[in-house]
């Protein structure tokens, strides 16, 4: 078998490996608590499920337009107006099979040998994986704990060279739960005026998951970069719809024909009934989203409190998403060692910080998309492990 060389450059998302291993341990009789995978533990709200079922009953079994059904694209444009206060044309919206595909297509469109793409590190692992696969050089933008896992706009701007094609931003962020303040984003947008050939991919998949009264600041707030801004969002995290595979991208007009051709080549269109469910999600009652957010908030405060009581562990308060990115440097373990000890010995599935890039060494990501009871049980076990490691 002779595979193409670029296959060896493709990485993966360790969360799926941990999920598989947790499943094996659980099948073997271990009581495993999963704080590994990043998906809401709530069911999809019923009005959305019913809309999907109704669409199938109404005969929506066939292909749709490759960019998505018009009513859904209109609903997304209205949603952007409601939550981001910007008018966009439904013609700029591309409906995708999940949030991920917008990122892969954007990277594919700009990445090639000789090109450079900036991405957050630690960050969602698929950014670096797809950049390498495209042949481009990944240039990490370090997100440091001392900056609340945000970035310094001047430092990001200093990484731009004449080879830079794309910058990937993610706020609120996976794996850190950090957000980038509006002032820093404004500084970056302003600095980007000097680099007119650099496009921006803003991954805003956690846009509705912010805490303590903070509101999400979209990159769409900055008109000076709007003609080269791609925004990624979707239904997975906000509406507990990870398995429906439904996402959207907002693309600059000049890229629409290109992304359309990628859609036709890769997936033709998104599952029709999921698209009808997506309309119900955006136009229906939003109280389930508020209730989920409230539950995440309680869990956030609990996990933050518990982690900070453990020897050798500290954790800053996450401001968005549903992840706590705990510093475990004081335990003397590497991230991978700690991930393995927690899973194999204690039955607590988590993800090593290094799964999100080299700058994640010394950290463990805990997803708190799990019940208060399970979080407490997982924290009891993590606490016992750290005390054991520290000889306490
Ligand atoms: N972007 C980030 C930052 C994520 O954390 C995830 C999922 O974990 C995605 C995109 C992908 O979302 P989807 O499941 O809709 O493809």
Q: Which atom of ligand 1 is nearest to the CA of 242?
A: 14
DSSP state of 316: P
Structural domain contains residue 391: no
Q: Are residues 76 and 225 in the same domain?
A: yes
Structural domain contains residue 96: yes
Q: Are residues 25 and 83 in the same domain?
A: no
In this predicted structure, what is the pLDDT of residue 16? Answer: 84
Q: Are residues 225 and 150 in the same domain?
A: yes
> pTM of the full predicted structure?
0.97
Q: Are residues 260 and 292 in the same domain?
A: no
Which of 257, 283, 309 finishes a domain? Answer: 283
Which of 283, 303, 318 finishes a domain? Answer: 283
Quick one: CA dihedral 167, 172, 178, 181, positive or negative?
positive
Q: Are residues 73 and 139 in the same domain?
A: yes
pLDDT digits (tens, 9 = 90+) for 305-335: 999 999 999 999 999 999 999 999 999 999 9
Distance 253 CA to ligand 1 centre (A): 24
In this predicted structure, what is the pLDDT of residue 17? Answer: 87
Q: Are residues 95 and 193 in the same domain?
A: yes
Which of 232, 264, 283 finishes a domain? Answer: 283
HEC string of 214-272?
Answer: CCCCCHHHCHHHHHHEEEEEECCCCCCCHHHCCEEEECCHHHHHHHHHHHHHHCCCCCH
Taking the C-alpha atoms of residue 209 and residue 216, their distance in angstroms, rounded to an integer, is 8
Q: Is the CB of 299 under 6 A from ligand 1?
A: no
Distance 121 CA to ligand 1 centre (A): 16
Q: Are residues 305 and 265 in the same domain?
A: no
Q: Is the CB of 204 under 6 A from ligand 1?
A: no
Q: Is the CB of 242 under 6 A from ligand 1?
A: yes
Residue nearest (by alpha carbon) to ligand 1 atom 5: 174
The enclosing domain of 231 has a CATH number of 3.40.640.10
Distance 351 CA to ligand 1 centre (A): 15
Q: Are residues 12 and 132 in the same domain?
A: no
Could you tell which of 100, 104, 234 is best to mutate to test the pocket of ligand 1, judged by most ligand atoms within 8 Å of the CB? 100
Could you tell which of 128, 205, 242 is best to mutate to test the pocket of ligand 1, judged by most ligand atoms within 8 Å of the CB? 205
Structural domain contains residue 390: no
Distance 329 CA to ligand 1 centre (A): 27
Q: Are residues 224 and 314 in the same domain?
A: no
Q: Is the CB of 99 under 6 A from ligand 1?
A: yes
Q: Are residues 30 and 59 in the same domain?
A: no
Structural domain contains residue 110: yes
Cα distance between the two ends of the chain: 53
Asked if 356 and 121 touch (Cβ cutoff 8 Å), the reply is: yes
Q: Which atom of ligand 1 is nearest to the CA of 235?
A: 15
Structural domain contains residue 62: yes
Q: Is the CB of 236 under 6 A from ligand 1?
A: yes
Asked if 234 and 96 touch (Cβ cutoff 8 Å), the reply is: yes
Mean pLDDT for back-to-back runs of 10 residues, the chain (392 residues): 93 86 94 93 97 98 97 98 97 98 98 98 96 98 94 95 98 97 97 98 98 96 98 98 98 98 97 98 97 98 98 97 98 97 97 95 97 98 96 88
Structural domain contains residue 179: yes
Q: How many domains is the chain built from?
A: 2
Q: Are residues 40 and 81 in the same domain?
A: no
The enclosing domain of 340 has a CATH number of 3.90.1150.10
Distance 238 CA to ligand 1 centre (A): 11
Taking the C-alpha atoms of residue 19 and residue 237, their distance in angstroms, rounded to an integer, is 18
Q: Are residues 87 and 164 in the same domain?
A: yes
Asked if 348 and 20 touch (Cβ cutoff 8 Å), the reply is: no
Could you tell which of 16, 99, 202, 249 is best to mutate to test the pocket of ligand 1, judged by most ligand atoms within 8 Å of the CB? 99
Q: Which atom of ligand 1 is nearest to the CA of 175?
A: 5
Range of the domain at 324: 5-44+287-385
């Amino acid at each position: 078998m002779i595979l193409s060389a670029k296959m060896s450059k493709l990485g993966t998302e360790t969360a799926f490996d941990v999920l598989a291993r947790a499943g094996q341990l659980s099948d073997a009789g271990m009581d495993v608590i999963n704080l590994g995978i990043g998906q809401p533990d709530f069911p999809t709200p019923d009005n959305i499920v019913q809309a999907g079922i109704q669409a199938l009953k109404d005969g929506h079994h066939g292909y749709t337009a490759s960019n998505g059904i018009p009513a859904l694209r209109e609903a997304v444009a209205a949603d952007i107006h409601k939550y981001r206060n910007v008018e966009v044309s439904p013609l700029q919206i591309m409906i995708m099979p999940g949030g991920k595909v917008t990122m892969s297509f954007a990277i594919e469109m700009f990445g090639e040998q000789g090109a450079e793409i900036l991405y957050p590190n630690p960050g969602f692992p698929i950014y670096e994986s797809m950049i390498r696969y495209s042949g481009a050089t990944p240039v990490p933008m370090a997100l440091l704990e001392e900056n609340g896992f945000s970035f310094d706009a001047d430092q990001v701007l200093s990484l731009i060279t004449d080879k830079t094609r794309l910058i990937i931003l993610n706020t609120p962020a996976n794996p850190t739960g950090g957000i980038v303040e509006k002032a820093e984003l404004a500084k970056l947008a302003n600095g980007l005026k000097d680099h007119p050939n650099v496009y921006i991919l803003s991954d805003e998949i956690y846009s509705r998951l912010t805490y303590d009264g903070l509101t999400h600041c979209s990159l769409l707030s900055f008109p000076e970069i709007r003609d080269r801004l791609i925004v990624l969002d979707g239904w997975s995290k906000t509406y507990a719809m990870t398995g429906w595979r439904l996402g959207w991208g907002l693309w600059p007009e000049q890229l629409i024909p290109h992304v359309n051709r990628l859609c036709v080549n890769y997936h033709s269109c998104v599952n029709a009934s999921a698209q009808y469910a997506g309309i119900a999600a955006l136009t229906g009652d939003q109280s389930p989203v508020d209730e989920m957010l409230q539950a995440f908030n309680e869990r956030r405060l609990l996990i933050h409190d518990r982690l900070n009581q453990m020897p050798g562990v500290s954790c800053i308060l996450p401001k968005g998403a549903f992840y706590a990115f705990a510093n475990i440097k004081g335990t003397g373990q590497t991230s991978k060692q700690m991930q393995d000890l927690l899973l194999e010995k204690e039955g607590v599935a988590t993800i090593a910080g290094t799964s999100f890039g080299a700058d994640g060494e010394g950290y463990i990501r805990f997803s708190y998309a799990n019940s208060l009871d399970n979080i407490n049980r997982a924290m009891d076990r993590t606490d016992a492990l750290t005390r054991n490691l520290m000889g306490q």
